[in-house]
């Protein structure tokens, strides 16, 4: 156990989690966007808030951008601002879901002019990557159809394959293309990349630097997500997570809040495949919105939830598990996992933080810092995260 604990501490010390810039803007549902006092007014302030999360947790050194939500004139300046704050720019997310031209699709659109426009947007994103030092272009395809017969399902895949090839060709050698899937919304009959299989097929056709993004909120209820994680790891194509929690749809709630056991099972597959290592190629990102809770503490809680699930996965006694599995002892095997899951890892994480010179409780440390009161006083007119903007 002491050995396991020591190894867990070592792995946890190397773990990093990427924050989404849009978690720091005002957000809501299609019914209402709630404004919060002190919310960031521009991408520079979003980075400042993200840096607070890193400051108190010590494990969140990167921030994903969403283009054009995070439009600035000078991306070199934005990257320099990040560096001054002790963080860096992470993945660059493209946006194909807020333009009138995309009513019938973007990369799959029947009209070649619209497809060319959607591809050109990715050229703009690659330019942002060059200026910020980002190495990941993240593409979620919102295309799909609402009615059977509305369009030719197969022709849409062919057009998509062609568009993706053109986007892949825009990348520099150090860049990766991360392709995210989602089984519904904004279209409700057939999404054009509804599942990991479709995403994977396109990645395989593109080349080694194309990988799948698994957003935990993008599956039908009851889907065994850890199975997908395992399968993508086997294929060497799990590029990144978009972590969040769901109860009903794509709820974008705090990761690990709806089903902490699922998060543990996911992290268990990660640890079992030795994919937690920072050089494993798997980027652990959050994709969340804090509609009613305060944003910086919401992100701090999210990071802590990922850390807790990771710590529990690291405490699984793999030798005992293998032995129980080998001997066909069903209950003992399940018991090994449950023992790890039921361990209170909060003292271990407090020890980890203290070893890094951090306060043991990042949530309380942030609350004491006075930052929230200061931004509420100084910032007027917080920016909307993006939706309905």
- Could you list the residues that contact ligand LRH (CB under 6 A)? 93, 140, 180, 182, 215, 242, 250, 287
User: Is the CB of residue 29 less than 8 Å from the CB of residue 291?
Assistant: yes
CB of 186 to ligand LRH, least distance (A): 9
Which one among 45, 269, 287, 359 touches Mn ion, defined by CB under 5 A? 287
Specify the residue, 192 or 287, whose C-beta has the smaller distance to ligand LRH.
287
Q: Which of 48, 215 has the CB closer to Mn ion? A: 215
CB 36, CB 294: distance < 8 Å: yes
Residue span 224-263 as binding mask against Mn ion, x where in contact by CB under 5 A, dash where not: ------------------x-------x-------------
Q: Which is nearer to Mn ion, 371 or 387 (CB)?
A: 387
Alpha helices in the chain (DSSP H): 2-14, 43-57, 75-85, 112-132, 153-168, 196-206, 225-234, 260-272, 295-314, 318-326, 330-341, 346-355, 362-369, 371-378
**61 versus 217: smaller Cβ distance to ligand LRH:** 217
Can residue 18 be called a binding residue for Mn ion (CB under 5 A)? no
Q: Which does 93 bind (CB under 5 to 8 A by kind): Mn ion, ligand LRH, none?
A: ligand LRH
Shortest-Cβ-distance residue relative to ligand LRH: 140
Say if residues 275 and 240 touch (Cβ distance below 8 Å): no
Q: Which two tokens stand for residue 245?
A: 């929690």
CB 209, min distance to ligand LRH, A: 19
Among 288, 239, 387, which residue's Cα sits nearest to residue 53? Answer: 288
Query: What's the closest the beta carbon of residue 177 comes to ligand LRH, in angstroms?
Result: 14
Q: Which of 48, 192, 215, 308 binds Mn ion (CB under 5 A)?
A: 215
Distance CA 153, CA 168 (A): 22
> Rounded to 5 degrees, what angle do the CA atoms 127, 122, 73 make?
40
Closer to ligand LRH by Cβ: residue 140 or 366: 140
Give, in order, the Cα–Cα distances in Å from 370 to each of 15, 52, 130, 301, 373.
28, 11, 36, 18, 5
Select 43 or 362, whichever has its Cβ closest to ligand LRH: 43
Rounded distance between C-alpha atoms, residue 195 and residue 186, angstroms: 15
Choose from ligand LRH, Mn ion, none: what does 48 bind? Cβ within 5-8 Å by kind: none
Compute the CA torsion angle 178, 176, 243, 109 (nearest 10 deg): -20
Residues that bind Mn ion (CB under 5 A): 215, 242, 250, 287
């Amino acid at each position: 156990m002491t050995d396991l604990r020591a190894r867990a501490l070592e792995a946890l010390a190397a773990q990093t989690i990427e924050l989404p810039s849009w978690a720091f803007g005002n957000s809501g549902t299609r019914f209402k966007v709630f404004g919060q006092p002190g919310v960031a007014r521009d991408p520079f302030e979003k980075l400042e808030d993200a840096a607070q999360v890193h400051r108190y947790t010590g494990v969140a050194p990167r921030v994903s951008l969403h283009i054009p939500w995070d439009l600035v004139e000078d991306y070199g300046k934005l990257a320099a601002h990040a560096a001054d704050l002790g963080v860096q720019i992470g993945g660059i997310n493209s946006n194909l879901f807020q333009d009138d031209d995309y009513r019938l699709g973007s990369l799959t659109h029947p009209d070649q002019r619209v497809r060319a426009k959607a591809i050109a947007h990715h050229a703009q994103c690659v330019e942002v990557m060059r200026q910020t030092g980002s190495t990941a272009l993240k593409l979620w395809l919102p295309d799909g159809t609402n009615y059977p017969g509305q369009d030719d399902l197969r022709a849409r895949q062919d057009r998509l394959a062609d568009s993706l090839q053109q986007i892949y060709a825009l990348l520099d050698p150090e860049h990766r293309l991360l392709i995210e899937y989602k089984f519904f919304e904004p279209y409700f009959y057939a999404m054009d990349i509804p599942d990991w299989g479709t995403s994977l097929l396109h990645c395989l056709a593109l080349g080694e630097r194309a990988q799948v993004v698994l957003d935990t909120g993008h599956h039908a209820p009851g889907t065994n997500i850890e199975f997908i994680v395992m399968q993508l790891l086997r294929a060497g194509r799990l590029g990144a997570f978009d972590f969040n929690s769901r109860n009903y749809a794509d709820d974008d709630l705090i990761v690990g809040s709806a089903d902490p056991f699922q998060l543990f099972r996911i992290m268990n597959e990660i640890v079992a495949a030795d994919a937690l290592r920072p050089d494993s190629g798997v980027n652990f990102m959050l994709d969340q919105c804090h509609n009613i809770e305060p944003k910086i503490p919401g992100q701090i809680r999210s990071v802590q939830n990922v850390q807790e699930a990771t710590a529990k996965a690291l405490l699984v006694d793999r030798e005992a598990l293998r032995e129980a599995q080998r001997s066909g002892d069903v209950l003992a095997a399940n018991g090994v996992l449950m023992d790890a899951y039921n361990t209170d890892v909060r003292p271990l994480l407090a020890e980890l933080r203290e070893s890094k010179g951090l306060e043991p409780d990042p949530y309380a440390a942030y609350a004491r810092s006075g930052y929230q009161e200061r931004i509420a006083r100084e910032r007027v007119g917080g920016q909307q995260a993006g939706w309905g903007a």
